[in-house]
């Protein structure tokens, strides 16, 4: 996996990295802008590379709330929580969150949409 850091103005750094290939198998490059020091940008680059290497990378521009939460239940909750906690989280997500905002892409989620999921 490759990732490079470029200066993007005063206190801004652009990280350009190779994302997982698209459905057609072609190379995809993504970029993220980090505000702060170059050290902050290096930390973010390390985080992105770790996610890519471990398979936990999620492309927020394409991922829906439903896809993200189902993956979270499988990859995180099932491993780090007890069986009852997993069942309760899954129940809340499937009965309350997914019906309201499950089809919404992650970057499009607004705070007011989350208020309606709690009821």
Q: How far apart are CA 94 and CA 103, in angstroms?
A: 12
| 37 and 80 fall within a common domain | no
| 74 and 38 fall within a common domain | no
Range of the domain at 100: 65-117
Q: Along the 119 residues of the chain, how does pLDDT read in single tens digits?
A: 688 999 988 999 999 998 887 767 888 888 888 999 999 999 999 988 888 888 777 776 778 899 889 888 988 898 899 999 999 999 999 999 999 899 988 888 888 887 766 55
**Residues sharing a CB contact under 8 Å with residue 88, sequence separation 6 or more, in sequence order:** none
**CA of 118: how far to CAs of 7, 93, 113, in Å?**
42, 10, 10
Specify the 3-state DSSP secondary structure of 14.
strand
**How many domains are contained in the chain?**
2
Q: Is position 47 within any domain?
A: yes
């Amino acid at each position: 996996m490759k990732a490079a850091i470029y200066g993007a103005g005063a206190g801004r750094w652009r990280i350009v990295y190779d994302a997982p290939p698209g459905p057609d198998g072609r190379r995809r490059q993504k970029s993220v802008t980090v505000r702060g020091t170059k050290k902050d940008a290096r930390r973010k680059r390390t985080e992105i590379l770790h996610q890519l290497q471990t398979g936990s990378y999620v492309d927020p521009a394409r991922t829906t709330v439903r896809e993200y939460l189902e993956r979270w239940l499988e990859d995180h909750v099932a491993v780090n929580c007890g069986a009852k906690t997993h069942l309760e989280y899954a129940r809340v997500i499937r009965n309350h969150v997914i019906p309201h905002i499950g089809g919404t892409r992650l970057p499009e989620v607004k705070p007011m949409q989350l208020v309606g999921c709690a009821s």
